[in-house]
Amino acid sequence: MYRKQIRRRRAVLGLLVVASLFLLTASFGERSGGAVHGFQRGIATVLGPLQEVADRALKPARDTVNWFRDTFDAKGENESLRDEVEDLRTRLALAESAINENRQLRGLVKLGPSGGVAGFRSVTANVVGRSPSVWYSTVTIDAGSSDGVRVDQPVVNGQGLVGRVTDTTPLTAQVTLITDHTSAVSGMIVPDGIAGVIEPQVGNPEDLLLAFIQREQRVREDRLVVTAGFASGETSSLFPRGIPIGRVSKATLDEQQTYQRVHVTPFVDFRRLEFVRILTGRKGGG
């Protein structure tokens, strides 16, 4: 019985194959208006509505499958784009850092061995540590007492005055910046000769104050501010005369004030400080 069923199925399959070949051969050899083409159109007419119904029935499932496929594809593309953005951001940061270092190094080269102050010796150092507090604006440098660095020596870079040495070890030193709340530097507006004391605006390293300027003195914007320096007998200021500090940005005066509030924008970018020069002493001196 089983064998008869198999033979019957094989016979039916063979007939279908023969019929298909016959129809294909007849279709290719017949004109478009022939019987075979008419039969094909009839079949298409009968099955067309059924195919449309099947398409409509399967459309939600097909759309669901496409949605999952598109979602996974989009997720993969987003992850790839995110990785590319991170890579570009890292490259940009490295490029900006290299540009900043190059600019500061060029500034130090222009200063020469004297650190930009005639008659002085200087030591070049890298900034290796920073204070996170806005109240104690200090940096650590990789030059110390073994390099001739001493407390109270002035520190500069290619843009201007940075600060002074406040502590040393044989291999490192701490520099207190002029943006620190304990800092006070005698400054002078040139060429006007108006003198005062440079003090920080705590929490804002991009703004300094030139204090103790009398209200009747005329202060012009964009004037250069440098260290005033002084020498009286055996006493002299920590900072030599003429080191650039910044430019006057504005001057304000309240009716209740005796002194003007003269704002100075420093030349040094304290947030991106990388290299400095320490003025270790006068040439020929101790």
pLDDT > 80? residue 190 = yes
Tell me what pLDDT residue 158 has: 87
- Architecture of the domain whose range is 112-286: Beta Barrel (2.40)
Residue type, 261: R
Band of the pLDDT at 250, cuts 50, 70, 90?
A: very high
Band of the pLDDT at 80, cuts 50, 70, 90?
A: confident
What CA–CA distance (Å, rounded) separates 273 from 210?
23
Tell me what pLDDT residue 38 has: 57
What CA–CA distance (Å, rounded) separates 208 from 162?
13
Burial of 157 (0-12, 13-18, 19+ CB in 10 A): buried
**Average pLDDT of the residues of the chain:** 77
Secondary structure (H, E, C), the chain: CHHHHHHHHHHHHHHHHHHHHHHHHHHHHCCCCCHHHHHHHHHHHHHHHHHHHHHHHHHHHHHHHHHHHHHHHHHHHHHHHHHHHHHHHHHHHHHHHHHHHHHHHHHHHHHCCCCCCCCEEEEEEEEEEECCCCCCCEEEECCCHHHCCCCCCEEECCCCEEEEEEEECCCCEEEEECCCCCCCEEEEEECCCEEEEEEECCCCCCCEEEEEEECCCCCCCCCEEEECCCEECCEECCCCCCCEEEEEEEEECCCCCCEEEEEEEECCCHHHCCEEEEEEEECCCC
Query: In this structure, are residues 252 and 260 in contact, taking their beta carbons and an 8 Å threshold?
Result: yes
Tell me what pLDDT residue 40 has: 56
pLDDT of 6-41, one tens digit each?
A: 677 666 666 655 666 555 565 555 555 555 555 555
Burial 209-220 (b: 16+ CB within 10 A, else e): bbeebeeebebe
pLDDT of 92-149, one tens digit each?
A: 655 555 565 556 556 556 656 655 676 788 899 999 998 877 666 899 999 999 999 9
Residue 120 CB: number of other CB atoms within 10 A? Answer: 21
Domain ranges of the chain: 2-62, 112-286
Tell me what pLDDT residue 133 has: 74
Tell me what pLDDT residue 82 has: 74
Q: How large is the average pLDDT for residues 233-239? A: 66
Burial of 122 (0-12, 13-18, 19+ CB in 10 A): buried
Task: Kindly state the percentage of the chain with pLDDT values over 70.
Answer: 59
Q: How large is the average pLDDT for residues 244-259? A: 86
Helices 2-29, 35-111: inter-axial angle, 10-degree rounding? 80
Tell me what pLDDT residue 162 has: 95
Tell me what pLDDT residue 142 has: 94
Q: How large is the average pLDDT for residues 246-270? A: 88
Band of the pLDDT at 67, cuts 50, 70, 90?
A: confident
Tell me what pLDDT residue 18 has: 61
